[in-house]
Amino acid sequence: MPELRAALAVVALATALPLVSAPSAVADPEMVAVVLAGLPGYPDHHVTGLNDLGQVVGSAQGPDAPPRAVLWSPRGGATDLGPGLAVEVDQHGRVLGIETRTATAPYRNKPWIWSAGTRTVVAPNTAWASAPAMNGHGAVPVRYSTSLFRQEHNRVGVWEDGRLTELSLSGPDLWVYGINDAGVVVGGYAAFATQDFAAVRCVDGACTRLGDSPGYGTYTPEGITEAGVVFGNRGTVAVRWEGVEATVLSENGRVAHGEQAFNERGDAVGWAADGSGTPHAVLWPAEGKQVDLGVPAPAEAVAINERGDVVGWTAADESSTPRAFLWRAGRVTYLDPPTGHYSLPVAINDRGVVVGHTTGADSTNKATLWTPVPTTH
């Protein structure tokens, strides 16, 4: 399947509401929006995800310095994790990130894992590497090269416990996209010269092609559940794989980007176009037909939690100012910015906490948290 700019002292999270159990599944939740304090000297802040502990990861960006990876605590304190971009945070507080340097030689593209104050480079003996995901044991699928001319030396493997194990997949263009806690990896294979494309699942290093789907060009698996169900796209065809069999979810749509686009029940979210080509935010339940979430189009759903709560955005009012929404059991709540002009969600955790982006009064990009207000009975 859609993932995540000196900060505003709008509200200090030290006085924010603590994380609480989410309201009942049919209630219209009241959400409080708080702008996360950022790193001094970096006016723009972007988020990429959060965990059920309430930790948020992202990056701080400024006009005259490389981006810095950031970890926000549940109370809002910002920790500078060093140069690079944070990709995701797991339930243990480990952060996967990547440092890229392309302006001057020697060029660098190196993933890393930060844990308890220590930052460790992933696959340090490679010349170039990228890592899109991490499982609950700290294992990371890696696309890498032994040469800076990476298209000529394209390899894929899994980094775990200080060791890189190569996957049994070869071809001119290879990718890895996700990994579950059992160590099963999903990736893609492409041979453009022969127009041979496939999504693959790799178990214990051995890779198997998944079933073909309609569409054109390369496959992009967005991730894999613990039960081994894979969700992804081929162009504008949204696909689910169970075993090797492909099921088309939409012939004119896409599963949202990343592992936040599906849950362990097998539900997935994204968009599907109507007859005029306008995208609508949709849910694909594990059992059942596609559900239009009923927000004004154009719109897209970007993340779902284990309860089935969905977040996304609509740009029906103005294409340049998206408005975030929370969908719960058929009811829509809009998540508006504390200041500024737009709100764009990125992820929702199982406590119903939503993280995303809003604009500040100075039009810079701010990391924002929407927290459900406790209900009284």
Question: What percentage of residues in the chain have a pLDDT greater than 70?
Answer: 89
Predicted pLDDT at 377: 54
Considering just the CA atoms, what is the radius of gyration of the chain in Å?
Answer: 20
Sheet with strand 268-273: strands edge to edge:
253-255, 268-273, 279-284, 291-292
- Per-residue pLDDT, averaged over 33-46, amounts to 93
Q: Are 148 and 114 contacting, i.e. CB atoms less than 8 angstroms apart?
A: no
Of 275, 54, 263, nearest to 283 by C-alpha is: 263
**How far is residue 21's CA from residue 52's CA, in Å, rounded to a whole number?**
11
Q: How many helices and strands, by DSSP H and E, does the chain display?
A: 0, 32
Of 321, 323, 303, nearest to 313 by C-alpha is: 323
**For residue 77, how far is the Cα from the chain centroid?**
22
Query: How many Cα neighbours within 13 Å face the side chain of 215?
Result: 27
Q: Are 34 and 19 contacting, i.e. CB atoms less than 8 angstroms apart?
A: no
* 7 backbone dihedrals φ, ψ, rounded to 5°: -70, 155
Q: What is the pLDDT of residues 109-153, one digit of tens each?
A: 999 999 999 999 999 999 899 999 999 999 999 999 887 654 555
Predicted pLDDT at 326: 98
DSSP 291: E
**How far is residue 66's CA from residue 83's CA, in Å, rounded to a whole number?**
7
**How far is residue 3's CA from residue 315's CA, in Å, rounded to a whole number?**
18
Residue 299 has pLDDT above 90, yes or no: yes
The confidence band for 159, taking pLDDT boundaries of 50, 70 and 90, is very high
Tokens of 42: 């970096």
Predicted pLDDT at 148: 67
**How far is residue 154's CA from residue 360's CA, in Å, rounded to a whole number?**
42
Sign of the Cα pseudo-torsion (101, 177, 312, 350, in order): negative
Average pLDDT of the chain, as a whole number: 89
H or E segment and range at residue 112: strand 108-115
What is the signed CA dihedral for 70, 177, 309, 357, rounded to 10 degrees?
30
**How far is residue 20's CA from residue 300's CA, in Å, rounded to a whole number?**
27
Predicted pLDDT at 22: 32
Residue 167 has pLDDT above 60, yes or no: yes
Tokens of 339: 């200041």
Residue 180 has pLDDT above 70, yes or no: yes
Q: What is the pLDDT of residues 51-87, one digit of tens each?
A: 999 999 999 999 888 899 999 999 889 999 999 999 9
Predicted pLDDT at 12: 27
Model pTM score: 0.89
Q: What is the pLDDT of residues 7-33, one digit of tens each?
A: 222 222 222 323 332 333 344 678 999
Of 341, 353, 247, 254, nearest to 302 by C-alpha is: 254
